[in-house]
Amino acid sequence: MPDVLYRSERRLTVVRLTFLGIGSNSFSRLNTAAFVVEVSDGSWLLVDCGPDTPRQVVSAGIAHIDVQFIVITHRHLDHVLGLPYLWFGRNLDALALRRRSPDAFIKPLVVICESDVWQTMRALFNRCHPDIPSLAYGLHHIDIATLVHAPMDVGNLQIRTIPVNHTVPAFGIVARRNGAVVLAYSSDTLPSEDFIAAAAGAGTVIHEAMVPSSEGTFSSSAHHSTATQAGTVIGNIHPHQGFLIHLRPQFWPARVELEREASKAAGASVRFPAEGESIAI
Ligand SMILES: [Zn+2]
Ligand SMILES: [Zn+2]
């Protein structure tokens, strides 16, 4: 779609969301689940940062320096391991910008995640890069648990988090714009009543659908959703558009069957987006 749909006098009229990865724990074609949302002109919110996410951000045409907010929904490696590497990439961008324009404003980065994830990732970065004692940009942390009861303004969105049902503490996200719920993302979870309630009225819902219902024994023990469970949640929320994410790569050849399974449960058409696909929310 042409950019003009998304911009008006440097104010966003429609929010753009680009899917980066739509898979889970893969080392080949489908990478980890992550997406970006343009929250003000030229500034992006990144949701989750798996090992390949820093590359996918650049492939989506976004400079690391323009990612101004990151939410890490939980500590699993497929959602967090790219974080220190993105900090590194952002530092290169900031240094290059400073060389080109010494007076240029360098956007700070706010990371919303569990406090011990923050401490662990900072320690990893410092351990790996004692040659970078301080970054060339401001780096700030906000505890994701505080957004459960106190929504936060992120550009032109207001973000709230919802504890969901995974094997480690994990948080779904609900984003409002001008009071309306524009987006609800489940993160990794079994179906969550709290998520369904918080997402009421959402225009767009993204829910994980890792496996078909025939693999339900595995997915309940790992606290993931099947396509049927994802479809049922989306059907309960009844959004304008529903997307599936976090597909287990071995089921990529069967994705159409998973989409059919989820759509039947939802009572509406839902699908896996393509990696790199942009949608309006
Ligand atoms: Zn995951
Ligand atoms: Zn997980």
Check whether 6 has a pLDDT greater than 50.
no
Check whether 165 has a pLDDT greater than 50.
yes
Per-residue confidence at 24, pLDDT binned at 50, 70, 90? confident
* Secondary structure string (H, E, C) spanning 236-278: HHCCCEEEEECECHHHHHHHHHHHHHHHHHHCCCEECCCCCCE
Q: Give the single-character DSSP code of 43.
A: E
Instruction: Compute the distance from residue 25 Cα to the ligand 1 centre, in Å.
Output: 7
Instruction: Compute the distance from residue 180 Cα to the ligand 2 centre, in Å.
Output: 28
Instruction: Compute the distance from residue 247 Cα to the ligand 1 centre, in Å.
Output: 9
Per-residue confidence at 28, pLDDT binned at 50, 70, 90? low
Residue 263 has a pLDDT of: 98
Check whether 41 has a pLDDT greater than 90.
no
Q: What is the pLDDT of residues 87-114, one digit of tens each?
A: 999 999 999 999 999 999 999 999 999 9
Residue 5 has a pLDDT of: 38
Contact between 227 and 254 (Cβ < 8 Å): no
Q: Report d(CA 110, CA 275) in Å as an integer.
A: 25
Instruction: Compute the distance from residue 5 Cα to the ligand 2 centre, in Å.
Output: 34
Contacts of 200 (CB under 8 A, 6+ apart): 181, 237
Q: Report d(CA 236, CA 163) in Å as an integer.
A: 18
Check whether 33 has a pLDDT greater than 50.
yes
Instruction: Compute the distance from residue 74 Cα to the ligand 2 centre, in Å.
Output: 7
Check whether 15 has a pLDDT greater than 50.
yes
Residue 30 has a pLDDT of: 62
Ligand having the closest approach to the CA of 24: 1
Q: Kindly report the pTM of this predicted structure.
A: 0.94
Rounded average pLDDT over 38-67:
95
Spell out which residues have Cβ within 5 A of ligand 2, the ion. Answer: 76, 188
Per-residue confidence at 1, pLDDT binned at 50, 70, 90? very low
Rounded average pLDDT over 165-179:
97
Check whether 8 has a pLDDT greater than 90.
no
Check whether 9 has a pLDDT greater than 60.
no
What end-to-end distance do the CA atoms of the chain give, in Å?
13
Residue 12 has a pLDDT of: 58
Backbone angles phi, psi at 89, to 5 degrees: -60, -40
Instruction: Compute the distance from residue 101 Cα to the ligand 1 centre, in Å.
Output: 39
Average pLDDT score over the chain: 93
Share of residues in the chain with pLDDT > 70 (%):
93
Ligand having the closest approach to the CA of 168: 2
Instruction: Compute the distance from residue 106 Cα to the ligand 1 centre, in Å.
Output: 31
